[in-house]
Amino acid sequence: MILNLRVDHRLLHGQVALSWVGFLGADCILVANDDVVKSNLRKATMKMAKPNGVKLVMKNIEDSIGALNNGVTDKYKLFIVVENVDDAYKLIKGTNDKIKILNLGGTDKNENSEELSAAVFVDQNDKDQLKELQNNGVDVTIQQVPSEAKKELSI
């Protein structure tokens, strides 16, 4: 069962590993990212941040979609973490809108981005994708930590 899909440009770190995993009751974290699977250093960093007793899986976006669609992840209470809005969009669309919850926790700022919160910045492409997801029934919220109130995305 997919508990949550989170966009966090830092991927797996203390806030995600401890706060979110415990809050959600997740027993498996899927880091869906094309670059992490190619970097031994980034993979090692993710493994060090993983909480004890929680399974960690790292797959590229295409393989993540395949795993979510073929049911291999169904036995887990799954928390998915991606690096950016585009990856979240690809996962949701690639799984035929099976994912209905998207948490924006932190995104990189660039020269074309607009600030939605202290840690969330989106450009026009992100806004278009998020609006489409919302129109298709995905609950998109901004929330850095579970103790913080959720802010519904309004674009």
- Residue pair 155/130 in contact (Cβ under 8 Å)? The answer is yes
Tens digits of per-residue pLDDT, 109-137? 999 999 999 999 999 999 999 999 999 99
Say whether 13 is catalytic.
Answer: yes
Give the model confidence (pLDDT) of 17-26 as tens digits: 889 999 999 9
Give the per-residue pLDDT at 18. Answer: 86
In this prediction, residues 38-65 reach a mean pLDDT of: 96
Domain that holds residue 74: 2-152
CATH code for position 16? 3.40.35.10
pLDDT of 154 reads: 87
Amino acid identity of residue 97, one-letter, is D
- Is residue 104 within 8 A of residue 120, CB to CB? The reply is yes
Catalytic residue among 13, 50, 77, 151: 13
Can you tell me the distance from the alpha carbon of 124 to that of 15, in angstroms, rounded to the nearest whole number?
A: 28
| Bridge pairing between strands 151-152 and 139-142 | antiparallel
What is the number of domains present in the chain?
Answer: 1
Closest of 16, 3, 84 to residue 46, by C-alpha:
16
pTM for the model stands at 0.95
